[in-house]
Amino acid sequence: MHSFENRQPVINCGMSPYLGDPMLRIDGAYLYDFGSEMQKVASLKEEDTTALDIYIYCSAAKSALQNMVYTSVFSDGFRTVHKSATDLLAVIDEHSADLMDRETYDKKVHDWDVRRIKGKLKEFEAIIRAELQTLALYYVSPKGGFDNRNLVDSGAQLFPASLLSKIPEACQDVTTGARCMAFELWTAMAFHFHRANEAVLRRYYASVIGTAKQPKNLTMGTVLSSMEQHNVGDVNIRAALKNIVVFHRNPIAHPDHHIASSEEAISLYASVRAAMGFMLEHLPESAPIALAAPPPSIPAATLAT
């Protein structure tokens, strides 16, 4: 038996380290277990039922009902089920044994009172079924060979592990972009992956350009032109970046173009992932942040004066 006390129908509810809003993954077993607890109430026998029987059959169902309707993540979406839930809880409490009073254990519950409990259960079931049919519950279909849990919860795993240590400012974009991939927001995915790629490119460009004059606006196009002009940077990396510009980045920059399929989205990801991997291999680890020295301690004699 699964206790529903303080139970939430989510597997994880922490905030992403790079995203401000929590993304909750629903535990499908929660709904199954909730229905099982409600069926225990429906299985009450109508003859020779005692108040202790009501308690035994219905106590877990009460916890499940209270949790589902009033405290679960679904509760904000419910509109009309609250009265029927309150009525069902009230009629169960009316005929359930009080564990603090053993004299109530053997109290007989009339068959019509049991039928009344079951009737309230049917009313509740009809309403909550309608409520659940209108809730915004969605199934995210797999994208290529990717694990949806990684796309939604830990998108940085799609990119080299060195990204976090070498270009930490790019991690929010790859995490958000991976989530956009999961939810088929292809053009938004491209936007974030291109931003992450350019963050890596700027660091790579700074490492190869040396003291040469840099363009005022460090866009992908100007950076590539500068590297060509000064003949710096690995030629294969420059070629990979040019392909991204021609086949992926420039088209997305225009409002009349968008990514319409998972195949195109995965191709873009593969190109960006490859180029970023090449650049990261040539980059050193980011320099540690210099911490300010602590203030000098004040002599005790000074504090005493």
DSSP of 196-261: HHHHHHHHHHHHHHTTSPPPSS--HHHHHHHHHHHT-S-HHHHHHHHHHIIIIIHHHTSTT----S
pLDDT at 23: 65
Residues 6 or more apart whose CB falls under 8 angstroms from that of 88 comprise: 65, 117, 120, 121, 123, 124
pLDDT at 110: 94
Mean pLDDT by 10 residues, the chain (305 residues): 62 49 76 93 92 93 93 90 96 90 89 95 96 88 86 90 93 94 92 94 92 83 92 94 85 76 91 95 65 46 43
pLDDT at 12: 55
Per the structure block, which two tokens stand in for 30?
A: 């929660």
The verdict on pTM exceeding 0.75 is: no
How far is the C-alpha of 82 from the C-alpha of 301, rounded, in Å?
Answer: 68
